[in-house]
Amino acid sequence: MKRAINITEISRIFKNYLLFIIILPLLSLVASIVVTFFLIEDKYVATTQLLINQKENTHQNVQDIQSNIQLINTYSEIVKSPRILGKVAKELKGQYEADEIKNFLNVTNQANTQVLNISIFHNDKEVAEQLANTVANVFKKEIPKIMKVDNVSLLSSATKTGHQVAPNVPLNLFIGWASGLLILCIIIFIKEITDKRIKSEQDVYDQMNLPVLGSIQYFK
């Protein structure tokens, strides 16, 4: 017959593994602390925003605005192009190659707007801010030559926008603790399910389907 798990059984398991229940999640938590604070590099992001209009016109109609919004994806790709990033690398006097800058770069646009967000991810906050500003300035200078865009406005500079995005300390610590608890549960489950020893009168009945006629007390 299948072995039933009741409150008494759960209490017994808890008492038997109490030390492991305390130690294993704690060790896993300590390991996650070491990894988070000593092995994972800090990562920062700095963001600058650009507003792009196709025409320098104070009387734009809805169709013009919609056309500008549809072109934003094109502008996003231009920001990441070798023409722009190559000039950024020159502005930085060879500190980074164009391919390296592209790896740091993330370009997004806010839904249904003509706003471009240029973000740089880097392990140095000040470098992230410098790169974001440089990319924005080069793009602003070059885009009129490429797309005949007459009006590119800088909405916000990346200066002092840098903030840490990784590692996520609370999440990492929770994952570490939860991983230890999960591993402990698996160990206890495997050990209990494979343990065929008879520990009580109920075990005799459950495993052999035989009634218990009597028991002998243990005397030390």
5 pLDDT exceeds 60?
no
- Burial of 176-193, coded b for 16+ CB within 10 Å and e otherwise, reads bbebbeeebeeebeeeee
Element (H, E) at 50: strand 43-53
Report the percent of the chain where pLDDT is more than 70.
80
Q: Are residues 29 and 65 in the same domain?
A: no
Q: Are residues 107 and 182 in the same domain?
A: no
Q: Is there a domain that residue 215 lies in?
A: no
pLDDT tens sequence across 203-218:
666 666 767 666 667 6
Element (H, E) at 146: helix 125-147
- Measured in Å, how far apart are the chain's first and last C-alpha atoms? 33
Q: What is the mean pLDDT of residues 88-105?
A: 94
Q: Are residues 35 and 124 in the same domain?
A: no
Q: Are residues 77 and 159 in the same domain?
A: yes
Q: Are residues 24 and 128 in the same domain?
A: no
Is the Cβ–Cβ distance between 109 and 116 less than 8 Å?
Answer: yes
Q: Are residues 97 and 184 in the same domain?
A: no
| Residue 95 CB coordination number (10 Å) | 12
Which residue in 8, 74, 42, 75 sits closest to 167, CA to CA? 42
Q: Is there a domain that residue 73 lies in?
A: yes
Q: Are residues 67 and 106 in the same domain?
A: yes
Q: Are residues 106 and 154 in the same domain?
A: yes
- State pTM to two decimals: 0.72
State how many domains the chain has. Answer: 2
Q: Are residues 20 and 65 in the same domain?
A: no
pLDDT band at 62 (very low <50, low <70, confident <90, very high): low
What is the domain extent for residue 195?
7-39+168-208
Q: What is the mean pLDDT of residues 184-192?
A: 90
Q: Are residues 47 and 156 in the same domain?
A: yes
151 pLDDT exceeds 50?
yes
**Average pLDDT over all residues of the chain:** 85
Here the CATH number for the domain that contains residue 142 is 3.30.70.1130
Q: Are residues 186 and 137 in the same domain?
A: no
Q: Is there a domain that residue 213 lies in?
A: no
Q: Are residues 48 and 105 in the same domain?
A: yes
Q: Is there a domain that residue 217 lies in?
A: no
Q: Is there a domain that residue 220 lies in?
A: no
Q: Is there a domain that residue 93 lies in?
A: yes
